Structure 1
């Protein structure tokens, strides 16, 4: 296709049909989930039995809405805590890794880069089992050899954070490193010639330039952590994040309250994406 030549009507209509079908494929399941969050039925399936807000605000014998379901609210809070720490660790180490890969020259750099990508291609279940087995071996050895009980190496939230961090940090690193690669290092050299310290240059020039990628990687890290299931399921203890709790509820029998949770998360995610889009950070 040559941009300077006008498209034929057939090509234009075909492209419009393709885009429409693509977005229909993406949005149809989400729309069904959203609609049946308001269905006045004990099951999130057709037929439609009338509009209701019970699955959000009810607190009766046979119906407990989302805002009165303490287990669901607790699991959302647990997921937020895990996602927060995974985001902080991934972005912090991702910034350091980006500088290491883009600025430093050392033997084995290519091998290190390749090894960093390994967690992305390992299935989440295998990754979770491997981390659990490794941590359990260390905890058992510490207890047998020195009588130390290392609870943080047992199934629980610390291991969940470690498991998610092991691959999300790679995504954060690649996102930040991609922007750092385009940075004009002559700006730092000019600041050094003018007497600025390296810390001042990092704080006033380099990090502001990296800010869009840092914010973007933080948002991606938080969402990836919040929705993770495979790795989390292998490492979770008694405090269930939302994905694990919803999985358990689905095995017992689907309820429209799960649709309500899904709709709430879609709304929050859409608002967050909209705010980031409207913010329109300046392009360097």
Structure 2
């Protein structure tokens, strides 16, 4: 019996064209920056390219007339790591706490996620004004950290809610029946089972903090994080070194995502073998 290929409706081609335009709009600028970062030594900020070289990547790690790439990168890296650790720990503990009802739980929940609906720039302005009122000098590791946590913690909390809503408590009951304490149950039963989700929370919180601009604008103090430094460089740097910086930071983000996926796959493989 010969099967005839069913003709696709016109709506399919319209949606396919729309999706192609969306992908082009989403990744086109990024691809353009990638290409222009490999300009020749005498190349500019626009096409056509003047040769091909790694000159601007080398130049990026040399002394710059404007900007502090090395310092801002390290600050963003440290801030992202601190935000990641705090978000993972607090989200996990909050997820455990909200498994049982307690007085005021609804109010606490809405209070925790309220920052998601407040414009980021207002969060940054509010924290900056608060530090100013109390005459405390804002820094990326204090006011900046607090601003970033208002962005990452609600996402971590919602993820852990979804995880624990599907968690089977019979595993914990079995561990306690075998004589395990509460801490042993969490360490040897709960944590291994939710570890892939915690890695997802860690990756999510780090990447959100690493490239956050609006909530850092009024809270970073006198030392810029990488997004603020890049923004400042756009008005002063007139060479493709800015594109090289964008390429390296994007590759770094993809490396972090790849490491997170690798860790999840490793945990799943060990779980299958075990």
Q: Identify the TM-score tier after normalising by the shorter chain.
A: 0.7 to 0.9
Q: Mark the CA change 1:30 to 1:185 in structure 2 (over 3 Å): closer, same or farther.
A: same
Q: Mark the CA change 1:160 to 1:104 in structure 2 (over 3 Å): closer, same or farther.
A: same
Q: Mark the CA change 1:32 to 1:203 in structure 2 (over 3 Å): closer, same or farther.
A: same
The residue number in structure 2 matching 1:143 is none
The residue number in structure 2 matching 1:35 is 35
Report the number of matched residues: 258
- Alpha carbons 2:76, 2:226 under 8 Å: kept: yes
The residue number in structure 2 matching 1:22 is 22
Q: Mark the CA change 1:7 to 1:169 in structure 2 (over 3 Å): closer, same or farther.
A: farther
- Alpha carbons 1:90, 1:169 under 8 Å: kept: yes
Matching of residues 152-231 of structure 1 within 5 Å:
153-157=136-140, 158-231=142-215
- TM-score with structure 1 length normalisation? 0.83
Per the TM alignment, residue 208 of structure 1 is displaced from its structure 2 partner at its CA by: 0.9
Greater shift in the superposed pair: 32-41 or 15-24: 15-24
1:124 aligns with 2:120: yes
Moved over 6 A (4+): none
The residue number in structure 1 matching 2:74 is 77
The residue number in structure 1 matching 2:130 is 134
Q: Mark the CA change 1:91 to 1:25 in structure 2 (over 3 Å): closer, same or farther.
A: same
The residue number in structure 1 matching 2:239 is 255
Q: Distance in 2 between matches of 1:193 and 1:256?
A: 64
Structure 2, unpaired ranges of 5+: none
Deviation string 1:224-257 (CA, Å, 9 cap, x unpaired) is 1110111111011222111111111112244311
RMSD: 2.2
Per the TM alignment, residue 91 of structure 1 is displaced from its structure 2 partner at its CA by: 1.2
